[in-house]
Chain A
Amino acid sequence: MIGVYSPGTSLVHRAPAIVKLAVLSVLVAAIAVQHSVLVLAGASVVVLALVLVARVPLAAVWRQLVPLAWILVLAVPLQLLLAGWELAVTVGLRLLLAVALAALYSLTTPVSETLDAMQLVLRPFRRWVDPDRVGLVLALTIRCIPLLGEIVAEVLEARRARGGEGSIRAVAVPVIVRALRTADQLGEALMARGVDD
C-alpha cells in the first residue's frame, strides 16, 4: 500500500474501492477454506485474468509477491514433510493467491479511496467511532512506515560513519528519540493543516 499504486483506467481501477474491498474479503475467505488443489488452480487462472484485465505491470505484482518467498520456503517444505504434497501445495497456493489479490487491490486503488471507503463502512457506527479519525490513523500508519525506515537508515549510517561499533542500545535510543521528535513534528503539521477542525 506504501506508494505501490499504479495509475490506470481499467475496469478494476474504476471499480469503487468499497466494492473491491468486499470482493477481496469474499475471495480471500473462500480461498482460505478451500482444500481442493484443482479449485485453487482454477482460482489462480481467475486471479491472473484479473491482473491482465487491470493492465497493471506484471513486474509490480511480482515485486509484491517476492517477500512471500521467505514464508513459502519455510511453510511448504514443512507441510510436505508433515502432511503430504497435497496440503503443501494447497497452503502455498492459498498464500500466493491471497497476497496477489491484496497486491492487485493496492495497485489499482489510491489510499485516499480506501480511506473514503472505510469512512463509508464506519458511518453507521459514527456514534461510537469517528470515521475521519480512523481514516487519518490508517493514513498516518501507512505514512510512518517509510518515515521510520528513513530514520533507522540514517541512524545506521551515522553509526557506520562513527566506526560501526556499539550495542543495539546505541541504535535503539537515537531511533526512538528521533521517532518521537518526528511524531511531535507530524502532529504539529497536522494541526497546521487543520486536521483538528
Chain B
Amino acid sequence: MSEIVFDRVGHAFEGVRVVDDVSLTITERRVGIVGANGSGKSTLARMINGLVEPAEGRVVVDGLDVARHGREVRRRVGFVFTNADTQIVMPTVREDVAFSLRRLKLPKADASARVDSALARFGLTALAERPAHRLSGGQKQLLALAAVLVAEPAVVVADEPTTLLDARNARRVARHFAELDEQLVVVSHQLELLEDFDRVIVMESGRVVCDDVPAVALAQYRALIERDLDEPAQHAGG
C-alpha cells in the first residue's frame, strides 16, 4: 500500500480556513472521509494528488512531496470527481478511456488491450463506440472510473462519486468501488458505502474530529448530524 502523509496541513479559501492543522498518515487499503459541506474533506482529498496545494504544511505520497513532485504523484494517484461530465474529454467512451494513456506513449496494441480490459471491468464494452456525453449518470461515473484505472494508479481518490446519482446508480457505482483492488480514499455522504472500510476520518470545520474504524467513526458522525439538526443555520454553508 502507498503511504499518504499529511504533515500539519492547513489551507484557507478567501480568508476562510477549510483545513486547519491536520496531521494524518494513511496506509490502509480503504479509507473514507466524511463531514458536512464545508468541513474541508474535499480539499483534503484534493491535496493528495496536488489539485490543491496546502498553504501550510505538506502532503507526501510514497516519500514524494506533492507540491514539488505533482506530476509523479498524479501518476500514482488517480482522481474521480463528483461530476463525471466534467471529467469526460473525448467524444466516445473508448476514446475517453484511451485518452488517459496518451501521456504514457504506449504501443497502439498495448494501449488498445488496456482500454478493452478497463471497459470490460466496468461493463462498458457494449457502449465503447457510444458518444460519452449521451451515457446515463451512472454509466458516466463508471466511465470516469475506467478512465482513471486504465492508467493503473496505485491509489484512487474519489470525491463524492455517488452524490449526483439516483439510488440505483449510486449502489451500482458503490459496488464497483467496493470491489476495487487499488488503495482507495473516498469522500462520501453515502455512509453505507464506508461501513466495511478499514478506517473512516470525520472532518468538522477543517479539523479531524474522529479517526477510527467505521463503526466508531460513523457513529460519531451520525451524532454530529443529530447535533447539527438543532442548529442548522451554522452548518448549512458550502
Contact = CB atoms under 8 A, between A and B. Distances in A.
Interface string A158-189: 00000000000000000000000010011011
B89 A140 contact: yes
B127 to A, nearest CB: 12
B95 A111 contact: yes
A112 B90 contact: yes
Interface residues of A, number: 29
Contact of A185 (B71, B83, B151): B83
A132 B102 CA distance: 10
Contacts of A3: 91-92, 130-134
Interface stretch (B73-81, B161-169, B183-191, B210-218): B73-81
Interface residues of B, number: 34
Contact of B71 (A182, A190, A194): A194
Given A3-B133, A194-B75, A194-B151, A111 B103 contact: no
Contacts of B147: 193
- Chain A interface, >50% SS class: helix
Given A1-B91, A2-B91, A111-B92, A192 B78 contact: yes
B77 to A, nearest CB: 9
A193 B99 contact: yes
B131 A143 contact: no
Interface of B: 49-51, 71, 74-75, 78-79, 81, 83, 85-92, 94-95, 98-100, 102-103, 129-134, 147-148, 151
Interface of A: 1-3, 5, 7, 110-112, 132, 139-140, 142-143, 146-147, 150, 182, 185-186, 188-197
